[in-house]
Structure 1
Amino acid sequence: MQLVKGGRRAEPATYTVDEVAVMLGISRGMAYQSVHDGEIPAKRIGRRWVISRAAFSAWLDASDNLPKAV
């Protein structure tokens, strides 16, 4: 369920690895590898990996952090 704020949908507090892969234009596998390698800031909650929206934005602003193509 999405929260509604002022008649609009609120931004999620976290992203999934799949959502981050789409936003970065990389494969799902490369996104998961980047999470496992610590390149993309993520936390594991149970069996799921989540990426904080704030941490992702800060990480993305640092241009040298983008995953390297193998």
Structure 2
Amino acid sequence: MNEELLKLLSKPTASVPDVGRIVYGLSRNASYDAASRGDIPTIQIGKLKKVPTAMLRARLGLEAVA
């Protein structure tokens, strides 16, 4: 696992574009499209979409969500 991915997963949440770029190799627009389809798990806080890294780790098979 590279350093950028480890740093991303060490925080409680991450931005949709960062997750799309680092984890899936997607552009900003493709990242938001994937989040809209549910391919990238998100939570919404007002108009802001964030990716809970615990859900992302579970989806990637790195650890289970407690």
Regarding TM over 0.5, the answer is yes
1:61: how far off?
2.3
Larger Rg: 1
CA distance in 2, matches of 1:26, 1:18: 8
1:60: how far off?
1.9
Q: What are the superposed Cα offsets for residues 1-42 of structure 1, whole Å, 9 maximum, x if unpaired?
A: xxxxxxxxxx32001011102212111111101111111110
The structure with more helix, counted as a fraction of residues: 2
**What TM-score, normalized to structure 1?**
0.65
Q: Give the root-mean-square deviation of aligned CA atoms.
A: 1.6
**What TM-score, normalized to structure 2?**
0.69
Hey, which bits of structure 1, 4+ residues long, moved more than 2 A?
Answer: none
Q: Which runs of 5+ in 1 are unaligned?
A: 1-10, 63-70
Matches within 5 A, 1:50-65: 50-61=50-61
